[in-house]
Structure 1
Amino acid sequence: MELIVHEKRPALEAWLAERFGADHVRIDDVDRLGGGAVSENLALVLQVDGGPMQGWHEAVLRAAAAMGVDASLSKTDEFAVLRAACQAGVAAPEPLAVCLDAGLIGRPFYLMRRAEGVASGHVLVKADEPLRALARQLGRELGKLHRVRPGAAGLECLPPLTTDPARKAIATFRGWAGAEAGRDPVLAYGLRWLERNIPARQEVALCHGDFRTGNYLVQDGRLTAILDWEFAGWSDPMEDLAWFCARSWRFGRMDREAGGIADRADLYAGYEESAGRAVDPVRVAYWETAAYVRWAIMSVQQGRRHTSGVEPSLQLALTGRMRPEIEHDLLLHLDALEGMGV
């Protein structure tokens, strides 16, 4: 993608000038950013001459991967979600422009303003003391997002829910897994547990879908931006809290249940400050079960992107080999719930 952007630079610069209402835009620097297993991210330095954006800007070009996963949004829809999140006051990168013409650089893409900070989960969890203020801040940001409800302007592109979130999730997981849902005993057990324990009460809000350590930026101990919105959609807001707290995203710090950085109580307290609702621990426990089932299936999908030959990638190959570990986490979680009488 980096080479393509260099080759298409004149066309891309002309397109940016038109979108920004500028006389001219020059791309002065292009660098590949780390991460991005579902999308490709390039850092751009732009010089804008004329118009309301006159000056220098650091931006990120976010393009669809050559072979995505079933749950990811199109770049047009992801851009709409990012815009809605910013309008809701969430600490998300400012969306700048979206390209519907896949022919411009070969794939759909959008630009957002670049935020500074560290995203690596392995780095963030190494703090000597729990990052309680950060966890609380993350909870507050999530609470703001969950105030966005179906019918919100600009989000007509998101598929509406035709059933409750839990039943939709189960059907989606079975669709992704195919025959594997019957062949793999742990997946079969997890899916059956989800079917037998559907919460009686569910709400619907705009959910991030991948809200976890590794998908936000921190600078000087403060949150600067929440990243990677490609899995956003309508669901039970407790799903986002559960995904953040799942063992898979603690990066070895199992003693800090909120993303490996703090206690659940810190995350939950921040959430309740801004969400206008209380955290429901029973529903969170349900959606944490769903998190392990979902991630186990997605690990298989990621591995197949590598083995197909379309996207040779060590990162994707290693993700594909994580299923036994994820399924072990699922069994530990269900065993703990049984001990609690859930």
Structure 2
Amino acid sequence: MRSRHAGSEAVVRRSADPWSVTSEWATKRLHSAGHLHTGHVLAMQIKELESKRGAVTTAAELTYSPDATGDPPRKVVVKQCNDFLFWSGYLEALFYSRLVSQTPDLATPRCYDVCLDRERKAYLLLLHDLTDTHSLLYSPSGSAGPAPEQLAQIVDQLAYFHAHWWEHPRLDSADFDVPVRGPVRLAQALPAHTIRRMCDGRLAADVPTVEAELGSRTPAGWREFTVAALGRWADLLITRTGDRKALTLVHGDCGYWNWMAPTEPAQGRPVVIDWGCCARGLGVYDVAYLILQSDLPRATQREVERPLLERYHSQLTGHGVQSYGWSQLLHDYQLAIIANLLIPFVWRDVSRHGMTMDAFHAWDCAELLTGIA
């Protein structure tokens, strides 16, 4: 799920919706959350940024009455959706309402309010708009990808975040037993029967559908490889994750398009946005996804890949993860590479397939998939 803005996607409008974004609504929510002590919102200048499948991204600039006190935001991003994308919204709401406070050193947008209605399958987030001080590493007009030093800063944050949630009891919650929409779906540590059902469904329906949609863009040998990989993937993932050892909370869509860099380097580190795919899984999946979907030249990717993995492992250890050896990380990285090769199921996009296949061969992933060369 590729985000295009500071706090991602949001705001579904319905005339009778109690969460309809108006000045009165914003006043009530900011008062309730403790950000606006006195006064009220006089006006909201709203700009719709993106709309898809029942979700709309909205940026708003707020003007307050002269008697306003507290720390109310001037610019916000509102994320709201319902039904189709509800589970992603639920997980993001869960992250901001209950989880993010436990990792205060993670650079992510401040959340001013969370509204969640499971019965209506609707959610809303009110997030700080960072566009005055940060810009997306991704540009819709094209980008050369993040600089190696930015990748290193991101890996440091991932290691900190993953270390905190490493084998955390909270991950045993049923919240993390539901398949997530988005690229992480084939890398989630789910119950065994769910993993098998998902792989069977991909084989029966999605392989021919994706191949038909890609048409002439389908890479040579992609169907044969994907069928063979899916045939082994359930066993591989269940064997690795069934005992819940060395698992953590992952971002799940950790491409560089979901990171914002400060416009002035002295302003700090890149900020991560869009937590709608957060899931229980292998921490190094986030690192693999970041590298393999980076749009870096292949030679540069090969050059930075191992140093970034070594940096990640060192940082994990430094944050207190003591029982996760280098050989285990490499095995998990092989699994993460295979999971990245299945991403065309989600995006219908094979533009990075060649780069990921290079990694598949460079890291000897074929040894995990008997019969695939």
Say yes or no: TM over 0.5: yes
Following TM superposition, the consecutive aligned residue runs of length 4 or more in structure 1 with deviations greater than 6 angstroms are: 35-38
Are 2:89 and 1:45 aligned?
no
User: Following TM superposition, by how much is the alpha carbon of 1:110 offset from its aligned partner in structure 2, in angstroms?
Assistant: 1.0
User: Following TM superposition, by how much is the alpha carbon of 1:329 offset from its aligned partner in structure 2, in angstroms?
Assistant: 5.5
Q: Which amino acid aligns with 2:338?
A: T
1:209 partner SS:
coil
Mind listing any 5+ residue stretches in structure 1 that lack a counterpart? 300-319
Q: Which amino acid aligns with 2:250?
A: C
2-side partners of 1:124 and 1:228: how far apart? 19
Equivalent residue number for residue 256 of structure 1 = 300
Task: Tell me which of 280, 291, 296 is aligned to 2:344.
Answer: 296
Identity of aligned residues (%): 12
User: Following TM superposition, by how much is the alpha carbon of 1:331 offset from its aligned partner in structure 2, in angstroms?
Assistant: 4.8
Q: Which amino acid aligns with 1:254?
A: R
Equivalent residue number for residue 94 of structure 1 = 110
1:230 partner SS:
coil
1:118 partner SS:
strand
Equivalent residue number for residue 191 of structure 1 = 230
Task: Tell me which of 261, 270, 283 is aligned to 1:237.
Answer: 283
2-side partners of 1:175 and 1:25: how far apart? 52
Superposed CA offset, 1:152-179 (max 9, x none) = 49x9572259xx9287584364266262
Equivalent residue number for residue 311 of structure 2 = 269
Equivalent residue number for residue 150 of structure 1 = 168
CA 1:216–1:251: 2 relative to 1, 3 Å: same
CA 1:20–1:182: 2 relative to 1, 3 Å: closer
2-side partners of 1:139 and 1:124: how far apart? 20
The normalised TM-score by structure 1 is: 0.71
Asked if the contact 2:55–2:82 (Cα under 8 Å) also holds between the matched residues in 1, the reply is yes
Higher relative contact order (CA 8 A, sep 6+): 2
Are 2:330 and 1:281 aligned?
yes
User: Following TM superposition, by how much is the alpha carbon of 1:65 offset from its aligned partner in structure 2, in angstroms?
Assistant: 6.5
Q: Number of residue pairs matched?
A: 306
Aligned pairs (5 A) from 1:1-342: 4=13, 8-21=21-34, 22=36, 23-33=39-49, 39-47=55-63, 53-64=70-81, 67-68=84-85, 73-83=87-97, 84-88=99-103, 89-101=105-117, 107-115=122-130, 116-121=133-138, 125=144, 130-132=147-149, 134-146=150-162, 147-148=164-165, 149-152=167-170, 156=173, 158-160=175-177, 165=189, 170-171=195-196, 173-174=198-199, 177=202, 179-180=204-205, 183=208, 184-195=223-234, 197-198=236-237, 202-219=245-262, 220-221=264-265, 223-246=269-292, 249-251=293-295, 253-257=297-301, 262-266=304-308, 268-270=310-312, 272-274=314-316, 275-277=319-321, 280-293=329-342, 295-299=343-347, 320=348, 322-323=349-350, 325=351, 331-338=357-364
User: Following TM superposition, by how much is the alpha carbon of 1:195 offset from its aligned partner in structure 2, in angstroms?
Assistant: 4.2
Mind listing any 5+ residue stretches in structure 2 that lack a counterpart? 1-9, 179-187, 209-222, 369-373
The normalised TM-score by structure 2 is: 0.66
